[in-house]
Amino acid sequence: MPDYKPSNLGSTRCRSSVFHWGQRTYVMGVVNVSPDSFSGDGIADAKEALARAKQLASEGADIIDVGGESTRPASTPISIDEELQRVIRVVERLAREVSVPLSVDTYKVEVARQALNAGANMINDIWGLQKEPRLAELAAQKGVPIVLMSNQRDSPCQDIMTAVISDLKRAIKQALSAGVPWENIVIDPGIGFGKTQEQNVEILQRLEELKMLGRPILLGSSRKSFIGWVLDLTPEQRSNKVTFVPPGDRRLEGTAATIAIGIAKGADIVRVHDVKEMARVCKMSDAIVRGV
């Protein structure tokens, strides 16, 4: 493990873009090609996905994240073949017609491999190499950045920040051992993935603690259930029952608050569904926090 340098995160190249960490907050726009997406924005048609991606790019997305399998709690996993069928044709079209880089949201190595061959430029692994260590080898081989998320769905814990930091340290070490360059690693605390609603809030309160890991922080709080829980938009969630009602714009203001505070606490890239609005939040927050 190299010495951490929280004050100098360097730069990460992704396709023709270079992310100069610390200069401003970057926006990752979400294109879900899973019909059961938790956020209610799932797209089944490649043409519709292309239109959505173009819209997000025009609204200020710096990167588009394409996912073919729902990651909501209690969702049913899909086969590799089904995920490939959903993702690859979309990535192929986006790579030809959208200028911003593309990320593939998957923890399956074959899906990631074919997506990269089809034109994707980043791997977004919600399991942080726990399910599929070979994703790190693939990222190293292809020379692409990889997002490593801390996921507690298989190991709930009481001391959430200790667990998240320990897990991310493990994932970073694993990626480096596989040959992934230091500058190609991005970390994500995994809001909503195996955490209680209180723990999700705590992660945002203490997000700056992740700076000690010396890598850019991705924040994925957009439309998450803890926002509905805090705002009493879905009362069932206060009794720990799970209700998947597409949140639409009911969580827009709550999302904006998490993004603004997240940036103040150290977030470098935010993964959002509502790009136009959140790009504005980022610009205003950067003016205050970063002076740009």
Q: Tell me, what's the pLDDT at 239?
A: 41
Q: DSSP class of residue 72?
A: S
Amino acid symbol at 72: R
Q: Tell me, what's the pLDDT at 64?
A: 98
Blockwise average pLDDT, block size 10, the chain, 292 residues: 61 96 97 67 76 96 95 80 94 95 98 98 98 98 98 95 98 98 98 96 98 97 93 58 54 96 98 97 97 88
Domains of the chain: 21-289 (3.20.20.20)
Contacts of residue 199, Cβ cutoff 8 Å, sequence gap at least 6 = 160
The answer to whether the pTM exceeds 0.75 is yes
* Catalytic residue (choose from 271, 276, 280, 290): 271
Q: DSSP class of residue 217?
A: B
CA 171 to chain centre: 15
Contacts of residue 124, Cβ cutoff 8 Å, sequence gap at least 6 = 65, 67, 103, 104, 105, 106, 146, 147, 149
Annotated catalytic residue 238: no
CA distance 30 to 291: 27
Annotated catalytic residue 224: yes
Q: Tell me, what's the pLDDT at 20?
A: 97
Q: Tell me, what's the pLDDT at 22?
A: 94
Q: Tell me, what's the pLDDT at 249?
A: 66
Q: At what angle do helices 46-59 and 275-289 cross, to 10 degrees?
A: 30
CA distance 83 to 198: 32
CA distance 66 to 199: 27
CA distance 221 to 255: 7
SS (H, E, C) 159-176: CHHHHHHHHHHHHHHHHH
Q: Tell me, what's the pLDDT at 266?
A: 97
* Catalytic residue (choose from 24, 113, 195, 224): 224
